[in-house]
């Protein structure tokens, strides 16, 4: 049975919440594990956080924004809590965002120290990123820090582990809990400051929405620089008594399904793209033991729903919806109430309002407010600018049912005005997905002298032509102006590290093709 939500539950610091979880679920309960298969109990995690945090505190200042460039791993989680134990602010760096965006993130947040690991840099071949960061920050390797941990540090960690609330830095729920950077699918990343209260509130909201069992195991292959991976894959399980299994990359399609089975995972976090690939690569018994799969970050296709149902029986595929600015979960389906085509029910404790959008009769632009909504964005001076009145503009156009179930109609930026009609680019993508479900597609709008704008389909389907799209549109009664007439075929659709379509890279592809066409 799900718990009731009370916003007062979030009135604590993140490290205090960790100590409370240990008291509630047992000091010796294994709570964290990664591919090294060395499980840590609550007490192990707390002691390790104090031991590492004490060393980090020696070369950082209280309140300092410290860069963390690590994969989803036990080391990444310990580092996050180690910074909190000594009142530092974890600033999670997206190592897939490219050198320019990484440098911009560090400059925006005022990061002067970046924590990483030799092994991670070597295996990921990320030396160019380190070289770029070293021109503006000090890069510190965790292996080097651990070598300096001596008997005095271990004794301190043991004492602090026994009395964590007494030894941990005194911080307020309103103090920063993490700085994350939006994926930048439409432009430069923005720095998002989430308070400790924001993060804990979102954990408690999810607990109140879906009944979670402390005996379950959460399998997280999503990056912890992404809010879905951090809150959903780390904080939610650990603060709810579930073991959090961290895996460093969602791209290991063949390795993940057997590991899901071997770890006896109950919940798998994924995106549509990744779960579709896992389902195709997995043996029938490798994902069948899951209680459910939670998908976010991108729309879940009917083809993916059908594939999981056919191959793994009664494993629900729950689509959810969120934003980094909301810590991130705003809505999610439930195992017992899973409405395909929606992103689920609004989480308790949230307020919503819809602003009218010209040409859209059955929905509006979604604004959200609640205890999980961010402190604000970082401005150019590194200060926090709160959302006006606490309302975050999601930029999404949605419809909401009478019982607060949400359906995404598209991004405000992802509507085109074709011949005076507002056309959802997402709906146009859905047409292509229905015709060629095994391929990836993206639609962008380009200026058109006659119709205002026109739709361009970019697809990895080699023989894609407009005729099948038109035929399907006619069959389902969709307007013909919603069918892209121009098609650009590419080897693969560009995606971000989060699994979302990279519309910035996509626009470059389209612009280059249009220039080539004009020059021909």
In tens, the pLDDT along 456-497 reads 899 999 998 988 888 888 787 777 777 888 899 999 988 876
Q: Which of 200, 171, 141 is nearest to 21 (CA)?
A: 200
Looking at the DSSP bridge assignments, the partners of residue 477 are: none
Give the SS3 label for residue 41. strand
pLDDT digits (tens, 9 = 90+) for 43-95: 999 999 999 999 999 999 999 999 999 999 999 999 999 999 999 999 999 99
Query: Six-digit token pair at 137?
Result: 């920050």
pLDDT > 90: percent of the chain: 62
Give the SS3 label for residue 443. strand
Average pLDDT over residues 130-134: 93
The set of residues, in sequence order, having a beta carbon less than 8 Å from that of 489 and lying 6+ positions away, is 459, 460, 461, 462, 464
Query: Six-digit token pair at 76?
Result: 């990444």
Label residue 37 exposed, middle or buried (CB < 10 Å: 0-12, 13-18, 19+): exposed
Decide if pLDDT at 252 tops 80: yes
Distances (CA, A) of 237 to 112, 163, 324, 434, 440: 31, 22, 18, 36, 32
Decide if pLDDT at 134 tops 90: yes
Residue with the two structure tokens 């579930």: 242
**Rounded to whole angstroms, how far apart are CA atoms 430 and 424?**
10
**Rounded to whole angstroms, how far apart are CA atoms 184 and 460?**
23
**Rounded to whole angstroms, how far apart are CA atoms 500 and 298?**
6
What is the enclosing helix (H) or strand (E) of 160?
Answer: helix 151-162
Query: Six-digit token pair at 338?
Result: 């899973």
* pLDDT at residue 185, as a whole number: 47
What is the enclosing helix (H) or strand (E) of 506?
Answer: helix 503-519
DSSP state for residue 370 in the 8-state scheme: S
Distances (CA, A) of 22 to 15, 82, 232: 11, 16, 19
* pLDDT at residue 3, as a whole number: 62
List, in sequence order, the alpha helices (H) in 63-148: 74-85, 99-109, 118-124, 127-133, 142-147
Mean per-residue pLDDT of the chain = 89
Decide if pLDDT at 187 tops 60: no
Label residue 130 exposed, middle or buried (CB < 10 Å: 0-12, 13-18, 19+): middle
DSSP state for residue 482 in the 8-state scheme: G
Is 261 in contact with 286 (CB distance < 8 Å)?
A: yes
* pLDDT at residue 496, as a whole number: 74
Q: Which of 281, 277, 350, 286 is nearest to 313 (CA)?
A: 286
**Rounded to whole angstroms, how far apart are CA atoms 44 and 50?**
10
List, in sequence order, the alpha helices (H) in 350-502: 425-435, 466-476
Domains defined for the chain, CATH in brackets:
13-199 (3.40.50.980), 419-519 (3.30.300.30)
* pLDDT at residue 499, as a whole number: 67
Distances (CA, A) of 461 to 31, 435, 489, 490: 43, 11, 7, 8
Q: Which of 390, 388, 408, 416 is nearest to 344 (CA)?
A: 408
Predicted confidence band of residue 358 (pLDDT cuts 50, 70, 90) = confident
206: left (phi over 0), alpha (psi -120 to 50) or beta: alpha
């Amino acid at each position: 049975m799900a718990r009731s939500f009370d916003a007062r539950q979030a009135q604590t610091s993140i490290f205090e919440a960790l100590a409370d979880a240990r008291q509630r679920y047992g000091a010796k309960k294994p709570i964290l594990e990664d591919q090294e298969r060395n499980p840590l109990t609550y007490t192990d995690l707390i002691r390790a956080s104090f031991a590492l945090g004490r060393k980090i505190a020696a070369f950082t200042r209280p309140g300092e924004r410290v860069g963390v460039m690590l994969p989803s791993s036990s080391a990444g989680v310990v580092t996050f809590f180690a910074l909190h134990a000594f009142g530092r602010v974890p600033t999670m760096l997206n190592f897939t965002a490219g050198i320019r965006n990484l440098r911009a993130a560090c400059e925006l947040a005022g990061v002067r120290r970046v924590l990483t690991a030799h092994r991670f840099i070597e295996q990921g071949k990320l030396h160019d990123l380190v070289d770029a960061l070293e021109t503006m920050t000090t890069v510190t390797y965790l292996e080097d820090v651990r070598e300096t941990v001596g008997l005095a540090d271990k004794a301190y960690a043991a004492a602090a582990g026994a009395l964590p609330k007494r030894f941990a830095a005194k911080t307020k729920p309103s103090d920063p809990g993490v700085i994350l950077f939006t994926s930048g699918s439409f432009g430069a990343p923005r720095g998002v400051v989430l308070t400790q209260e924001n993060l804990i509130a979102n954990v408690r909201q999810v607990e109140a929405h879906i009944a979670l069992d402390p005996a379950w195991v959460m399998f997280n292959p999503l990056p912890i620089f992404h809010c879905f991976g951090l809150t959903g894959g780390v904080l939610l399980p650990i603060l709810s008594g579930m073991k959090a299994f961290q895996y460093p990359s969602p791209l290991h399609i063949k390795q993940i399904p057997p590991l899901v089975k071997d770890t006896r995972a109950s919940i798998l976090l994924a995106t549509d793209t990744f779960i579709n690939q896992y389902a195709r690569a997995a043996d029938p018994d490798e994902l069948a033991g899951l209680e459910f799969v939670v998908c976010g970050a991108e729309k879940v296709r009917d083809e993916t729903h059908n594939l999981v149902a056919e191959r793994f029986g009664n494993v629900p595929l729950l689509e959810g919806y969120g934003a980094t600015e909301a810590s991130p979960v705003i809505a999610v389906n439930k195992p017992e109430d899973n409405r395909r085509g929606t992103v689920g029910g609004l989480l308790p404790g949230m307020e919503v309002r819809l602003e009218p959008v010209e040409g859209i009769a059955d929905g509006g632009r979604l604004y959200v407010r609640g205890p999980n909504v961010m402190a604000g964005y970082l401005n150019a001076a590194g200060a926090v600018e709160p959302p006006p009145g606490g309302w975050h503009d999601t930029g999404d156009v949605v419809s909401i049912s009478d019982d607060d179930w949400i359906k995404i109609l598209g991004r405000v930026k992802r509507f085109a005005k074709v011949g005076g009609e507002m056309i959802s680019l997402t709906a146009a993508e859905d047409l292509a997905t229905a015709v060629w479900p095994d391929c990836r597609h993206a639609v962008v709008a380009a200026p058109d002298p006659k119709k205002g704008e026109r739709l361009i389909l970019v697809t990895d389907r080699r023989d894609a032509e407009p005729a099948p799209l038109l035929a399907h549109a006619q069959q389902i009664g969709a307007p013909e102006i919603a069918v892209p007439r121009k098609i650009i075929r590419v080897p693969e659709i560009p995606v971000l590290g989060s699994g979302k379509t990279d519309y910035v890279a996509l626009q470059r592809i389209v612009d280059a093709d249009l220039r080539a066409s004009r020059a021909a």
